[in-house]
Amino acid sequence: MIAHHPAVFLDRDGTLMEEVHYCNDPAKVRILEGVREGLLRLQQAGFRNIIVTNQSGIARGVISLAQYEAVQARLFELLGHHLIDATYFCAEGPDNPSPRRKPGPGMLWEARDAHALDLTRSWLIGDKTSDIQSGLAAGVRSILVHTGYGATEPPDAACHVAKDFACAVDFILNHRDGR
Ligand SMILES: [Mg+2]
């Protein structure tokens, strides 16, 4: 029998690292405060840490694939490679109605199938309504953080609103398994 793991799906820009409009330069990568420690706490609690990131700058021609990869490499260099289990990105823009692009649930489903994830015990953390909608569409409890664009997003759909990543992790660790 396959063991199904709970995951935390992580938006990247504005959630793990500072929001930079279409970040195409690894020199601009700044990890937000408390993110490294938070990812470690999630990992130690048995969660898989999975990045799900819309990168429409690629389809728009603002970010090349090589630049996206350089930014990811810098992120992992700063975070440490062991804290993230997998990354899914969607290069499409809003004109392409791909179910992979958030607010669609496609990247979460891909991750579920590839990593034997139990979505009913999983969470999502993001700074935009489209992140929250993506989580909800996959049946995943979703937390809006007030970093990045989060402070100006309506909180309605989120199951919880957290000041920052560390507070979101606190909430998850206090409410896992429906407690
Ligand atoms: Mg974001």
Residues 6+ away with beta carbon under 8 Å from 96: 59
Amino acid identity of residue 179, one-letter, is R
Question: Which H/E stretch holds residue 4?
Answer: none
Report every protein residue that has its C-beta within 5 angstroms of ion ligand 1.
Answer: 11, 13-14, 127, 148
CA 13 to chain centroid? 8
11, 95, 131, 177: which is the annotated catalytic residue? 11
Indicate if 131 belongs to the active site. no
Indicate if 13 belongs to the active site. yes
| pTM, entire model | 0.96
How confident is the model over 94-134, as pLDDT tens digits? 888 789 999 999 999 999 999 999 999 999 999 999 999 99
Beta bridge partners of 1: none
**CA 84–ligand 1 middle distance (angstroms):** 17
* Domains contained in the chain, CATH given: 7-178 (3.40.50.1000)
